[in-house]
Amino acid sequence: MATAAVSSGGISDQLFVSIKLECPRLDELGLVPHVFGSHPVAGSWDSSKALPMEQEEAAVWGLSCVVPSHHETLDFKFLLKPKGNSSQCIVEEGPDRSLVCGSSEVETRNALFKFDDELGAVECKVFVETEILSPFDLAASWKAHQEHLQPRVRGAHDVSMNAESESRAKGADGRHVPPQEEQRAIFVDRGVGSPKFARPTNETISMSNAKFDSEAKDMPAAEGAVAAAAVADQMYGPKEDRKLAIVLVGLPARGKTFTAAKLTRYLRWLGHETKHFNVGKYRRLKHGINQTADFFRGDNKEGVEARNEVAALAMEDMLSWMQEGGQVGIFDATNSTRSRRNMLMKMAEGKCKIIFLETICNDKDVLERNMRLKVQQSPDYAEQTDFEAGVRDFKERLAYYEKVYEPVEEGSYVKMIDMVSGSGGQLQINDISGYLPGRIVFFLVNCHLTPRPILLTRHGESLDNVRGRIGGDSSLSETGLLYSRKLASFIEKRLATERTASIWTSTLQRSILTAQPIIGFPKIQWRALDEINAGICDGMTYDEIKKIKPEEYESRSKDKLRYRYPRGESYLDVIQRLEPVIIELERQRAPVVVISHQAVLRALYAYFADRPLEELPNIEIPLHTIIEIQMGVAGVQEKRYKLMGAVNPTAGI
């Protein structure tokens, strides 16, 4: 891997805070320690919104979080709440604790809690550690895992890999269940706790010019911990930094529009208000679709003015959209001269941050394919009856652009060099800072155009499906077992020539059992693919929830997307934990079969189909049906295969 680029102590860096409380009496008293304070994440001094600490050992509780390094002093205190009763609390005695960002001195006096006369007082030892980390440092924990350092960061999820799918033991019910101890697995534990971020030996850390090889095996993958930095950036970042314009740069047929559409889909799925502004559409609306190559000559003054005019119109529309609440605008045009880019930067000054995204391709075969595809699909040639004449005109247009083309050397930029071919490439970044730009870089380095299918399917019908119960970890019904065999037969035929394909499942046995008959492919278990956590409603039927917890039933009915089961998850939580899965799916060049659950597959399907988040909870993902997503240069296409007839309609969440 080439050198990674990160600054230390800059405005975009994050302060990782690890707090531990040690006291053996708390567990005996049935009390759970919490943290609350001046930071909004900690409730802004609202005790009802205090952050609960998690028990790491018999007498030790821990909490870790990420806040902006440039934030002013943070004040906080500990409080105790009885288990199962969040309304009562006991706040520690003494003055507020202060955490001065940027200072190495951390206050660690003991915490004193006073009770009634009978219980007296309880004193707890306090340990606080802080470390300045950039978003790149946070995500670099993946590389540390590869070196067996096992950092632990709040918000990421466990992954286990098992290539020996044929060795199985029988469970109590006679069905084959893969026992944990027999799995020859790589198990990545990324739970709550204090991370130890170790940078690779001889790796230079600077922020100016960074280069990533897209084929590097140790490129940091997406990490859930980085999401914590997103909250901090949105709360405390400068206003103009909260609005981001990704301005595409590049010659025609370099994959700009494809990249713009892919990035738009990803950011929308993460919940960022994102819109794609294609300047070509503005040009066609104002000047028609019958412009010949002469219109694009660099010495055609009228043509240059006309093209700059529509670019300015598109930019004005994008800035107006941002003022109305939009967050990320994707500005799609060639923007191939320094004067055009200077015009855009001047228009955006004080309103949004601009990052140039330049796509460069030197592969003649890829370019020829892209040019012919462009002529075939572009509205500019919709009325051209002679395809080869259209190709000649497009190549002439391209030659005019090449004469005046000026590569990006100014401002913040990302260069994607020969990354569309699927056989290597390089990503260069300059002056990139902040959570969201960092996420965009991680996404782009994993993107490619290699065609491959991704097959999504729910597990076979489970015993809880038959009973109409949500959640749980039941095994398969007879119908579900039949589907597992039909699925194996389908996969064997569909992927007969794809020996490098892989099977991904959740860690729940109904998903693992569905994959069991499939042979010849490595199987990977992702805890992130587990069904949505129904919390206290796990194992109940919807009728039971309606009867026993009518307020929860009503709340869920009003807003399924944002509703969070008590002590469980919402659909938005599921999206958050699935981000590493999406990044890895984008990185794969071989077919992947994902065997998971209804809520999870709804979220994955919404990403590939670019469905609005509001529609996500109601997307139909029927049992015993395979959804094949074909990814490649032509975009995303879908096929469905129904292997069995209709079953219990109450299945799923």
Does the annotation count 459 as an active-site position? yes
Is 66 or 281 the better-scoring residue by pLDDT? 281
Domain boundary, last residue among 421, 446, 471:
446
Q: How far apart are CA 458 and CA 155, in angstroms?
A: 25
Kindly give, in sequence order, each residue whose CB lies less than 8 Å from that of residue 68, ignoring residues fewer than 6 positions away: 13, 14, 15, 101, 232, 233, 235, 236, 237
pLDDT grade, residue 326 (50/70/90)? very high
Per the domain annotation, does 296 fall within a domain?
A: yes
pLDDT at 154: 33
Tell me: pLDDT of 54 over 80.
yes
Residue 130 belongs to what domain range? 14-146
Per the domain annotation, does 272 fall within a domain?
A: yes
* Same domain as 534, residue 420: no
* Same domain as 624, residue 541: yes
| Both structure tokens of 320 | 């107006």
Does the annotation count 597 as an active-site position? no
Tokens 């030892």 correspond to what residue? 125
* Same domain as 484, residue 608: yes
Q: How far apart are CA 366 and CA 163, in angstroms?
A: 35
Q: What is the DSSP letter of 537?
A: G
Is 363 or 560 the better-scoring residue by pLDDT? 560
| CA-wise closest residue to 464 among 530, 507, 505, 510 | 510
Does the annotation count 332 as an active-site position? yes
pLDDT grade, residue 88 (50/70/90)? confident
Domain boundary, last residue among 97, 112, 146:
146
Highest mean pLDDT among 64-68, 159-163, 540-544: 540-544
Is 98 or 595 the better-scoring residue by pLDDT? 595
Highest mean pLDDT among 87-91, 369-373, 528-532: 528-532
pLDDT at 41: 66
* Same domain as 113, residue 52: yes
Tokens 């038959």 correspond to what residue? 466
- 10-19, 89-98, 368-377, 613-622: range with lowest mean pLDDT: 10-19
**Could you give the number of structural domains in the chain?**
3
Q: Residues of the chain with pLDDT > 90: what percent?
A: 45
Q: How far apart are CA 529 and CA 41, in angstroms?
A: 27
Tokens 């502004």 correspond to what residue? 277
CB 126 within 8 A of CB 220: no
Q: How far apart are CA 262 and CA 53, in angstroms?
A: 38
Is 519 or 214 the better-scoring residue by pLDDT? 519
Average pLDDT value for residue range 539-543: 94
User: Of all helices (H) and strands (E), which one includes residue 389?
Assistant: helix 387-404
Q: E strands, 441-591, where? A: 452-458, 502-505, 523-526
Candidate list 13, 92, 531, 569, residue with the active-site label: 531
* Same domain as 114, residue 45: yes
* Same domain as 465, residue 404: no
User: Of all helices (H) and strands (E), which one includes residue 32?
Assistant: strand 31-37
* Same domain as 517, residue 409: no
| CA-wise closest residue to 468 among 648, 640, 331 | 648
CATH number of the CATH domain containing 501: 3.40.50.1240
Average pLDDT value for residue range 467-482: 94
Per the domain annotation, does 415 fall within a domain?
A: yes
* Same domain as 520, residue 619: yes
Per the domain annotation, does 492 fall within a domain?
A: yes
* Same domain as 461, residue 421: no
Candidate list 23, 124, 361, 537, residue with the active-site label: 361
CATH number of the CATH domain containing 273: 3.40.50.300
Span 168-213, pLDDT tens digits: 344 434 433 333 333 322 222 223 233 333 333 333 223 334 454 4
Per the domain annotation, does 584 fall within a domain?
A: yes
Tell me: pLDDT of 72 over 80.
no
Span 370-427, pLDDT tens digits: 889 888 888 888 888 889 998 998 999 999 999 999 999 999 999 998 876 555 678 8
CB 574 within 8 A of CB 598: no
Does the annotation count 448 as an active-site position? no
CATH number of the CATH domain containing 97: 2.60.40
CB 79 within 8 A of CB 48: no
Tell me: pLDDT of 149 over 80.
no
Domain boundary, last residue among 108, 127, 146:
146
Candidate list 459, 464, 538, 569, residue with the active-site label: 459
Candidate list 92, 233, 332, 579, residue with the active-site label: 332
DSSP secondary structure string for all residues of 116-149: -TTT-EEEEEEEEEEEEE-HHHHHTHHHHHHTT-
pLDDT grade, residue 101 (50/70/90)? low
Q: Residues of the chain with pLDDT > 70: what percent?
A: 75
CB 147 within 8 A of CB 39: no
Highest mean pLDDT among 2-11, 227-236, 347-356: 347-356
* Same domain as 375, residue 252: yes
User: What's the gap between Cα 527 and its chain centre?
Assistant: 15
Cα 113 to Cα 18, 91, 121, distances in angstroms:
21, 7, 6
pTM above 0.85, yes or no: no
Per the domain annotation, does 226 fall within a domain?
A: no
Span 336-379, pLDDT tens digits: 999 999 999 999 999 999 999 999 988 888 888 888 988 888 88
pLDDT at 5: 35
Q: What is the DSSP letter of 50?
A: P
Per the domain annotation, does 154 fall within a domain?
A: no
Per the domain annotation, does 191 fall within a domain?
A: no
Pairing of β 14-22 and β 121-133: antiparallel
Span 114-136, pLDDT tens digits: 887 677 888 899 988 877 665 55
HSE toward the beta carbon, residue 183, CA cutoff 13 A? 17
CB 607 within 8 A of CB 265: yes
